[in-house]
C-alpha cells in the first residue's frame, strides 16, 4: 500500500511546520576510519534538518511550562511523562501541543494507535454509542457490543478450537485475569514468566514483570508462586537452547511442573527492548506445556492488532496459545482490554468470578469493533509488513551514515521496530545517555520517540500504521537529524 489513507482535517491548516529535512547523499560505511567523515555528516545533517520553529498560530492560551509547573504540584511524582509538552489535539500520526507546535508521533500512546489518533470510524462508532448509553455494567444489564467484540476476538484468535472471551479495562487487568483463569482451570498455583518481560503495574503483574527499575522498586513483596525463566536473546548470547535449559533447570530447582498453571510471555518483548520470541522457542514451549498440562499465554497487549503484520504476533510462529491477553490498539485509543482463549479454560471460574464495574465499557467496545474493522478494511496487516521493511532499511542506512558503531541492533517484527544504541561495536556497552539525547533532540525537532530495553538504550517505533508514506519519511528524516545532533553533542563533550 502506498500513501495510506486519511488526511488530517483541521489539523492541517494550522500546522506550523511544513519543512522536511534534506537528505544527505553520503554513502553508508561502517569502517572505523570513516568516523571523522561520520562526524562531518552528522554536522551537515544536523544543520540541514529543521528545528521546530516558533508557531505561526495565535499566542497559545496555555504554555507547556505553566502546565508542567501545575502538573508537578498536583500529580504524584511516580507518574512519569516522556515528553515535557502538553497535548492540545492530535490527528492520525500528528499531534499539536498547547503552544501550537506540531509533532510526528512515533510513540502512538505506547502502541495504542495502530489506527492512528482519532480514526474517523472509531470516533463515529464511539459517538453513536454515546448517544445510546455509556454504562450499564455488563454484570447488571448486558449489551450487544460486548458480545459482538467477544465474538470478534474468538474468531480472530489463532487455534482451531472453540474460544470464549472476557473484557476488562486495562492490560494489567487482562493479565491478572488470565492468571486467575489459568489457576482455576488447572487447580495449580505456579506461573512462569521471563526475564525482560513487562506485564503491568499491579502487584501480580509486577511480580510477573522481569525488569526491576523503575517498576518494581520499593513496592514488593509480590505474590508467591511466580517463577522466572531466561528469555532467549541471541544478541546477549542466550540461545533458544540456553533459554530452554534454564526452564528445565527451573523445573528441577524451584517450580514443580505439576504445580505450574501457566507460562506467560510476550511474543515481542515490549518494555524489554522489542526482542521477538523465535518460532523455535514457541514450538518448544507448546510441547513443554502439553507434556506437563501447563497453559500457554501469549501477552499480545503491545504486539497485537496488526503491529507486527498479523492480528496476533504469535501467529508468525504457527503456534496457538491457550490464552491471549489483548488491549491497546484493539480500540484505537479507548481503554479496553481482554482475555481470549480455549472455551473450557475460559469457563473455569463460576459466575461472578470474573468481571468488574467498568469491564468492557460499551463505548470502548464500539470503538474496538470499529478499529478492528478499520485494520481489516485498510489492509493494515500488510501495511505493517511493508512499513517495517521500509523503516528497517531507512534506519540501517541512517545508522551507517550518521552514527556508525552506535546503532548496534535494529530488530522487531513488522512495524514493531526498535534500534539499540551502544558506545561502540567492540564493547557493545549500552549507551543510555546517547539514547536519551536522541529522544530529546527528536522532540525539539518535532518527533515523539520512546525508549525501551533493559538499559533504556533502545528506541521503539510504534507509529500509526495509517500514517502516510510522506509522514513516515518526514519522521525518519527528523530521526536522522536527532541522531546527528546526539553524535555532534557527544563529539563536542569528548573534545572538551
Ligand X SMILES: Cc1ncc(COP(=O)(O)O)c(C=O)c1O
Which chain residues interact with ligand X by CB under 6 A?
110, 170-172, 175, 198-200, 266, 270, 299, 301-302, 327
Q: How far is the CB of 17 from ligand X (least distance, A)?
A: 30
- The minimum distance between CB 264 and ligand X, in angstroms, equals 9
400/450 with CB nearer ligand X:
450
- Minimum distance from CB of 385 to ligand X (Å)? 21
The residue among 337 and 403 lying less far from ligand X, judged by its C-beta, is 337
How far apart are CB 175 and ligand X at their closest, in Å? 6
> With respect to ligand X, which residue has the nearer C-beta, 210 or 246?
210
285 half-sphere exposure, CB direction, 13 A CA radius: 34
Question: What is the smallest separation between the CB atom of 218 and ligand X, expressed in angstroms?
Answer: 19
118: number of Cβ within 10 Å? 19
CB nearer ligand X, residue 5 or residue 209 = 209
Q: Which is nearer to ligand X, 270 or 306 (CB)?
A: 270
Minimum distance, C-beta of residue 301 to ligand X, in the bound complex (Å): 4
The 3 state secondary structure assigned to the chain is CCCCCCCCCHHHHCCCCCCCCCCCCCCCCCCHHHHHHHHHHHHHHHHHCCCCCCCCCCCCCCCHHHHHHHHHHHCCCCCCCCCCCCEEEEEECEEEECCCCEEEECCHHHHCCCCCECCHHHHHHHHHHHCCCCCCCCCCCCCHHHHHHHHHHHHHCCCCCCEEEEEECCHHHHHHHHHHHHHHHHCCCEEEEECCCCCCCCHHHHHHCCCCCCCCCCCCCCCCCEEEECCCCHHHCCCHHHHHHHHHHHHHHCCCHHHEEEEEECCECCCCCCCECCHHHHHHHHHHHHHHCCEEEEECCCCCCCCCCCCCHHHHHCCCCCEEEECHHHHCCCCCEEEEEEHHHHCCCCCCCCCCCCCCCHHHHHHHHHHHHHHHHCCHHHHHHHHHHHHHHHHHHHHHHHCCCCEEEEEEECCEEEEEEECCCCCCCECHHHHHHHHHHHHHHCEECEEECCCCCEEEECCCCCCCHHHHHHHHHHHHHHHHHHHHHHHHHHHC
- State in angstroms the smallest separation of the CB of 210 from ligand X: 11
Gap between the Cα atoms of 489 and 43, Å rounded: 10
Least Å distance between CB 282 and ligand X? 16
Nearer to ligand X, 271 or 489 (CB): 271
Nearer to ligand X, 92 or 170 (CB): 170
CB of 312 to ligand X, least distance (A): 12
Could you give the CA distance from residue 151 to residue 365 in angstroms, rounded to a whole number? 12
Select 92 or 302, whichever has its Cβ closest to ligand X. Answer: 302
The residue sitting closest to ligand X, measured at its beta carbon, is 171
Distance CA 62, CA 82 (A): 20
Select 196 or 446, whichever has its Cβ closest to ligand X.
Answer: 196
In the complex, minimum distance from the CB of residue 79 to ligand X, in angstroms, rounded to a whole number: 12
Query: By C-beta, is 158 or 270 nearer to ligand X?
Result: 270
The Cα 261–Cα 478 span in angstroms is: 47
Q: What angle do CA 39, 43, 44 make, to 5 degrees?
A: 115
- The residue among 365, 361, 359 whose CA lies nearest residue 332 is 365
Query: Nearer Cβ to ligand X, position 272 or 475?
Result: 272
Q: Shortest approach of ligand X to residue 46 CB, angstroms? A: 32
Instruction: Tell me how far, at minimum, the Cβ of 198 lies from ligand X, in Å.
Output: 5
In the complex with ligand X, the residue whose CB is nearer, 215 or 227, is 215
Amino acid at each position: 500500500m502506498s500513501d495510506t489513507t486519511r488526511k488530517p482535517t483541521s489539523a492541517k491548516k494550522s500546522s506550523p511546520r511544513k519543512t522536511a529535512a534534506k537528505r544527505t547523499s553520503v554513502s553508508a560505511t561502517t569502517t572505523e576510519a570513516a568516523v571523522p567523515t561520520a562526524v562531518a555528516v552528522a554536522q551537515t545533517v544536523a544543520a540541514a534538518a529543521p528545528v521546530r520553529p516558533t508557531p505561526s498560530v495565535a499566542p497559545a492560551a496555555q504554555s507547556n511550562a505553566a502546565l508542567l509547573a501545575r502538573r508537578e504540584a498536583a500529580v504524584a511524582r511516580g507518574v512519569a511523562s516522556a515528553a515535557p509538552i502538553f497535548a492540545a489535539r492530535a490527528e492520525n500520526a500528528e499531534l499539536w501541543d498547547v503552544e501550537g507546535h506540531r509533532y510526528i508521533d512515533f510513540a502512538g500512546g505506547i502502541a495504542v494507535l495502530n489506527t492512528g489518533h482519532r480514526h474517523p470510524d472509531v470516533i463515529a462508532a464511539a459517538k453513536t454509542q454515546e448517544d445510546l448509553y455509556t454504562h450499564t455494567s455488563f454484570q447488571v444489564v448486558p449489551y450487544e457490543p460486548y458480545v459482538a467484540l467477544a465474538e470478534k476476538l474468538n474468531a480472530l484468535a489463532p487455534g482451531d478450537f472453540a474460544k470464549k472471551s472476557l473484557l476488562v479495562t486495562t492490560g494489567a487487568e487482562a493479565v491478572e485475569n488470565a492468571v486467575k483463569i489459568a489457576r482455576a482451570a488447572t487447580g495449580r498455583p505456579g506461573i512462569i514468566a521471563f526475564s525482560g518481560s513487562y506485564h503491568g503495574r499491579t502487584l501480580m503483574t509486577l511480580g510477573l514483570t522481569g525488569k526491576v527499575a523503575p517498576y518494581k522498586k520499593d513496592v514488593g513483596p509480590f505474590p508467591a508462586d511466580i517463577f522466572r525463566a531466561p528469555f532467549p536473546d541471541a544478541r546477549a548470547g542466550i540461545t533458544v537452547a540456553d533459554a530452554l535449559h534454564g526452564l528445565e533447570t527451573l523445573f528441577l530447582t524451584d517450580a514443580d511442573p505439576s504445580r505450574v498453571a501457566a507460562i506467560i510471555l510476550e511474543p515481542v518483548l515490549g518494555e524489554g527492548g522489542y526482542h521477538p520470541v523465535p518460532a523455535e522457542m514457541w514450538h518448544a514451549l507448546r510441547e513443554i506445556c502439553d507434556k506437563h498440562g501447563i497453559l500457554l499465554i501469549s501477552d499480545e497487549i503491545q504486539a497485537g492488532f496488526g503491529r507486527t503484520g498479523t492480528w496476533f504476533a504469535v501467529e508468525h510462529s504457527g503456534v496457538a496459545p491457550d490464552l491471549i491477553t489483548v488491549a491497546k490498539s484493539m480500540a484505537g485509543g479507548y481503554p479496553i482490554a481482554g482475555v481470549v482463549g480455549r472455551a473450557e479454560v475460559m469457563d473455569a471460574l463460576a459466575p461472578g468470578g470474573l468481571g468488574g464495574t467498568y469491564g468492557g465499557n460499551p463505548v470502548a467496545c464500539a470503538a474496538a469493533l470499529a478499529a478492528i474493522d478499520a485494520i481489516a478494511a485498510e489492509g493494515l496487516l500488510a501495511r505493517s509488513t511493508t512499513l517495517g521493511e521500509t523503516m528497517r532499511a531507512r534506519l540501517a542506512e541512517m545508522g551507517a551514515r550518521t552514527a556508525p558503531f552506535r546503532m548496534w541492533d535494529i530488530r522487531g517484527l513488522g512495524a514493531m521496530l526498535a534500534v539499540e544504541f551502544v558506545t561502540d561495536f567492540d564493547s557493545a556497552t549500552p549507551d543510555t545517555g546517547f539514547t536519551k539525547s536522541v529522544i530529546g533532540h527528536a522532540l525539539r525537532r518535532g518527533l515523539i520517540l520512546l525508549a525501551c530495553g533493559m538499559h533504556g538504550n533502545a528506541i521503539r517505533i510504534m507509529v500509526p500504521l495509517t500514517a502516510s508514506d510522506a509522514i513516515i519519511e518526514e519522521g525518519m528524516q527528523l530521526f536522522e537529524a536527532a541522531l546527528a545532533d546526539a553524535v555532534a553533542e557527544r563529539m563536542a563533550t569528548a573534545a572538551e
